[in-house]
Amino acid sequence: MLFEQIAYMENLPFELSFLNVGEESRHCHKEVELLFVLRGVTHYRIYHMDYELNPGDLIIADAEDLHQIHDSSENILLLSVHVDTGRFDLLYPNIRYMFFVCEECMEGPAGNRQLLQSKLAILKQQLAKLAIDYTRAKLDVPLLTREIRDVVSTMVTHFQGFYMEDYQYKTSPQDLRPEDLQRLCRVTRYIMLHYREKIALDDIAAMEHLSPYYMSHLIREHLGFNFQNFVNAIRLEFAEKQLVFTNKTLTQISQDCGFSSPNYFNKCFSAWHGETPSQYRKNYVPCERSYKNPFTEEYALSLLEPYLYVSGAEKKRSRSLTVEAGFEADGFLSFQEVFSPIIVIDSAESALSLGFCQKELQQIRPASFLLTESFTGKNRALAAAVIQRLTAMGFSIAYNPKNPEILSAPKTSPAAVFQQILEERHRWVLLWGEENSLFLAGDFPSPIYDFYSFFSELKAPLVQVHKNYTLIKSPSDRFLIFYNPDPDTSLQVHLPAEILPKHTALFQWELSSRDDVLSTLRQIVPADRISSFLSQKIKQQGTGPMRVSLPNKKHAPVADFSIPPGTVVVFDILI
């Protein structure tokens, strides 16, 4: 099958252009296509589905999808972005087999339009900035690479998955668990690679080590139709492309695409398309690509400017922060007395990990250790040995309180860690575990450990905690830390110069959830298969971008800046 070839500039993993296409033939390519309507009205067909798109609408055609722009108005103007998802395989395994659905022109089954609009605002802003930076006289390849990576991240995070209703793909009414998304992606990959063969639910379930009943329920609940209809939907996509691009007979196409008989192929195709395969082939007439009214690139870019900013509806959902307290104010607390951790040992694995992290534990100076009743009851001899060892190391032992509230930052996000410990004063933290613990499987330090390690390097730190930011001072240091645990919305910060000591320089660095060790672990092999060399590299993983600034108090705000979702920004104030 011939794919349309996409030309890339400077080896970038995407291509971007403005279009005024009025009509074109159905075609496909190996890239994902994002189409953003800036002006006019058009129609966009993806397989059997036909969408009317108006200004502000955004739609995605997945890799190798059969699609077509048609019946555009005279003033049509579109932003088109083609993304080579194969370049992101290491970050997102099986991304080529993911379904991306963001059709705001279709209502979802749960009426989740408001949530969809909120997510789309982020994606539209990213695309607008990408287009503006892409059209500059000189391409900034590192900048554009980061920006397209953010676009792909948003697609994978917010628009992966679909729900089938009335033979129409719609946005999923719920956020699927990551493990369910990955599982469905693997199932999709298997079907797309084996659609010519007989595919049984039992085989798919065995591949995922699940019962056939559970696998059937998973597909029905999250996709909106049963397993056999899912298989048929994928087979019909391949069949439709053969109807368009080949002269094969219907019997040949039926066999090539895995249908049990031509009659069954005819029945399935008619149910989805409202016409038989022969009628479809007869009615489809290829055409030359035609264009509508001309436009200038400058005008097209001007239509993107409103999307760079938060819209009126979204502005109510955005959050802003003005720093008001300074380092000379009262209300500073001793970090060691108020926030130092009480470390919980709740399993034999946790107890045995003491042998690997003794040095790190002494560094962060915990307030005490707690051995849970469930652990000591099952492991009395081991518990006694642990108590003896901790006592020898100079640590105190806490008695089991009633229902200690264990730190449980969502997905071990660094920003959530800062918020829960500083604002909510969570002190109980697990020593070892898969996440939400000081150390992860493989004895890797987590963002929780990094938090305590940061404070352990300061001499007698004092802290003043506010909503989403904290001031820190010690005899020789001053820090201002901002943290945005919200996974979806940026935090707008206004920092007046008078808050800072005189004659200062600011050294700024940031840490986001995509920088932490847990994120790295999820992208590679299981922890027990990591070499010692790679282990050290992961443990040494750095932070995000760093920069230095010299504030001038003659200009009232030092900065009005934005903290991305899930990110911590640290200002080291050099006096």
Residues 214 and 258 both lie in one domain: yes
Indicate the Cα dihedral angle 9, 11, 12, 14, nearest 10°.
Answer: 70
For every residue of 10-61, DSSP letters joined together read TT-SEEEEEE-EEE---B--SSEEEEEEEES-EEEEETTEEEEE-TT-EEEE
User: Is residue 115 assigned to a domain?
Assistant: yes
Asked whether residue 294 falls in the same domain as residue 393, the answer is no
Query: Is 272 in the same domain as 298?
Result: no
Q: Are 126 and 152 in contact (CB under 8 A)?
A: no
Residues 480 and 461 in one domain: yes
253: its two tokens = 């196409």
Domains identified in the chain, total number: 3
Same domain, 152 and 162: yes
Residue 314 within any structural domain of the chain: no
Rounded Cα–Cα distance for residues 78 and 503 (Å): 50
Per-residue pLDDT of the chain (575 residues; tens, 9 = 90+): 567 888 888 889 999 999 999 999 999 999 999 999 999 999 999 998 899 999 999 999 999 999 999 999 999 999 999 999 988 887 677 888 888 888 654 554 444 666 677 788 889 999 999 999 999 878 888 899 889 988 988 888 788 876 666 555 555 555 666 677 778 888 999 999 999 999 999 999 999 898 999 999 988 888 888 899 999 999 999 999 999 999 999 999 999 999 999 999 999 999 999 999 999 999 999 999 999 999 999 999 999 999 987 554 444 444 667 787 788 888 899 999 999 999 999 899 899 888 888 888 988 989 999 998 888 888 899 999 999 999 998 999 987 666 667 776 555 578 888 988 998 888 889 998 877 888 887 667 888 888 898 899 899 999 999 989 999 999 888 899 999 988 777 777 777 766 777 766 777 777 766 555 555 555 555 555 555 555 555 555 545 555 555 555 443 334 556 787 888 988 888 76
Pair (243, 291) in one structural domain: no
Residue 293 and residue 350 in one domain:
no
Same domain for 369 and 499, yes or no, is yes
CATH code of the domain in which 200 resides: 1.10.10.60
Same domain, 201 and 165: no
Question: Which residues, 6 or more positions from 63, have their beta carbon under 8 angstroms from its beta carbon?
Answer: 29, 30, 31, 32, 85, 96
Rounded distance between C-alpha atoms, residue 331 and residue 318, angstroms = 29
Same domain for 539 and 437: yes
For 205, the domain range is 179-285
Residues 119 and 37 in one domain: yes
29 and 80 fall within a common domain: yes
Task: Tell me if 377 is assigned to some domain.
Answer: yes
Closest C-alpha among 90, 172, 39 to residue 523: 90
